[in-house]
Chains A and B, each alone.
Chain A
Amino acid sequence: MEVTSAAGLAALLPEAVVALTAVAGLLVGSWLPRGRQGWVRGLAVVAALGALAGAAGGLGGTPIALASGYAVDTATGVARVVVLVGVVVVLVLSADHVAGSRRESEFCVLVLLGGLGAMVVAGASDLLVLAVGVLLASVPLYALAGFGKDAGGTEAALKYYLVGALLGVVLLAGVTLLLGAGGATSYAELSVALPKAPAGVVTAGTVAVLAGLLFKAGAVPAHFWVPDVAEGASAPVAAFVTTVPKIGAVVAIYRLGTQLEVADVVAWPALVAVVAAASMTLGNLAAFFTGQVRRLLGYSTIAQVGYVLLAAAAAGQTGLALPGLLYYLAAYLVTNLGAFAVVCALPRAATPDDYAGLFRRRPWLALGLTVCLLGFVGTPPTAVFVGKLSVFAAGVDAGLAWLVVLAVANTVASLFYYLRWLRPVFRQVPLGSVSKPTVAEARSWPGEFTSPGRWSARVAVAAAVATLGVGVAAEAFLSGVQGARLLP
Chain B
Amino acid sequence: MTALSVAVFFPLAVAVLLLMLRRPRARAVMWAWVGATALDLVLVAALWVGYVFGDAAGDGFGYEASSRWIPSVGVGYHIGVDGISLPLLTMTAVLFLACAIYSVHAVPRRRAREYAVLFLFLQSVSLGLFVSLDLILFFVFFDLSIVGMYAVIAGWGHGQAGRSALQFFLYTFTGSLALLLGFIVLYLGSQPRTFDMVELARQQPLAGTGLAGGLALLAVGVGLAVKTPTVPVHTWLPPAHTDAPAAGSAILAGVLLKMGAYGFVRIAMPLLPGAWRDYAWVIVVVGVVSVLYGALVALAQPGFKRMVAYTSVNHMGYIVLGLGAVGVAGSDAADAEAATLAVTGSVVQMVSHGLLTGALFLLSGVLYERGGTYAMGAYGGVAGLTPRFAAVTAVAALGALGLPGLSGFIAEFQIFTGSFGAVPVAVALALPGIVITAALFLRALRRIFLGDRALPAGARMVDLSRPEMASIVPLLALSVLIGVVPIVLVEIVVPAAQAVVAAVTT
Q: Which one of B68, B139, B144, B185 lies within 8 Å of A475 (CB-CB)?
A: B68
B184 touches A396 (CB 8 A): yes
Minimum CB–CB distance from A325 to chain B (whole Å) comes to: 14
CA distance A486 to B70 in the complex (A): 23
Say whether B474 faces chain A, with CB atoms less than 8 Å apart: no
Say whether A61 faces chain B, with CB atoms less than 8 Å apart: no
Minimum CB–CB distance from B51 to chain A (whole Å) comes to: 28
CA distance A142 to B70 in the complex (A): 40
How many A-B pairs fall under 8 Å by CB? 71
Chain B residues with CB below 8 A from A377, complex form: 173
Q: Which of B95-103, B162-170, B332-340, B374-382 contacts A (4 or more CB under 8 A)?
A: B162-170
Say whether A426 faces chain B, with CB atoms less than 8 Å apart: yes
Say whether B450 faces chain A, with CB atoms less than 8 Å apart: no
| CB nearest neighbor in B for A408 | B177
B181 touches A408 (CB 8 A): yes
With A381-B140, A419-B169, A423-B162 in contact, do A475 and B181 touch (Cβ < 8 Å)? no
Q: Which one of A374, A396, A423 lies within 8 Å of B188 (CB-CB)?
A: A396
Q: Which of B147-155, B246-254, B417-425 contacts A (4 or more CB under 8 A)?
A: B147-155
Chain B residues with CB below 8 A from A474, complex form: 70, 72-73
Q: Which of A106-114, A173-181, A384-392, A455-463 contacts B (4 or more CB under 8 A)?
A: A384-392
Minimum CB–CB distance from B63 to chain A (whole Å) comes to: 22
Instruction: Tally B residues with Cβ within 8 Å of A.
Output: 29
B72 touches A475 (CB 8 A): yes
CA distance A385 to B185 in the complex (A): 17
A412 touches B177 (CB 8 A): yes
Q: Which one of A404, A408, A416, A482 lies within 8 Å of B72 (CB-CB)?
A: A482
CA distance A475 to B188 in the complex (A): 19
B181 touches A404 (CB 8 A): yes
Say whether B209 faces chain A, with CB atoms less than 8 Å apart: no
Instruction: Tally A residues with Cβ within 8 Å of B.
Output: 29
Map CB proximity to B onto A393-423 as digits: 1 under 8 Å, 0 otherwise.
1001100000011001001100110010001
Q: Classify the secondary structure of B's interface with A.
A: helix
| CB nearest neighbor in A for B136 | A389
Say whether A380 faces chain B, with CB atoms less than 8 Å apart: yes
With A393-B184, A475-B70, A478-B73 in contact, do A423 and B143 touch (Cβ < 8 Å)? no
Minimum CB–CB distance from A448 to chain B (whole Å) comes to: 33
B188 touches A393 (CB 8 A): yes
CA distance A280 to B197 in the complex (A): 32
Minimum CB–CB distance from B319 to chain A (whole Å) comes to: 26
With A374-B147, A412-B170 in contact, do A380 and B73 touch (Cβ < 8 Å)? no
Minimum CB–CB distance from B65 to chain A (whole Å) comes to: 17
B181 touches A405 (CB 8 A): yes
Q: Which of B108-146 contact A (CB under 8 A)?
A: 136, 139-140, 143-144
CA distance A407 to B174 in the complex (A): 12
Say whether A479 faces chain B, with CB atoms less than 8 Å apart: yes
Chain A residues with CB below 8 A from B147, complex form: 374, 379
CA distance A296 to B186 in the complex (A): 35
| CB nearest neighbor in A for B74 | A393
Chain B residues with CB below 8 A from A397, complex form: 188
Map CB proximity to A onto B58-80 as digits: 1 under 8 Å, 0 otherwise.
00000000001111110000000
Chain B residues with CB below 8 A from A374, complex form: 147
CA distance A415 to B143 in the complex (A): 13
| CB nearest neighbor in A for B187 | A393
Can you name 12 A-B residue pairings with CB atoms under 8 Å? A377-B173, A379-B147, A386-B73, A397-B188, A404-B181, A408-B178, A412-B173, A416-B170, A423-B162, A474-B72, A475-B71, A475-B72
3 smallest beta-carbon distances between A and B, as pairs: A478-B72, A380-B140, A408-B177
Residues of A within 8 A of B (CB): 323, 374, 377, 379-381, 385-386, 389-390, 392-393, 396-397, 404-405, 408, 411-412, 415-416, 419, 423, 426, 474-475, 478-479, 482
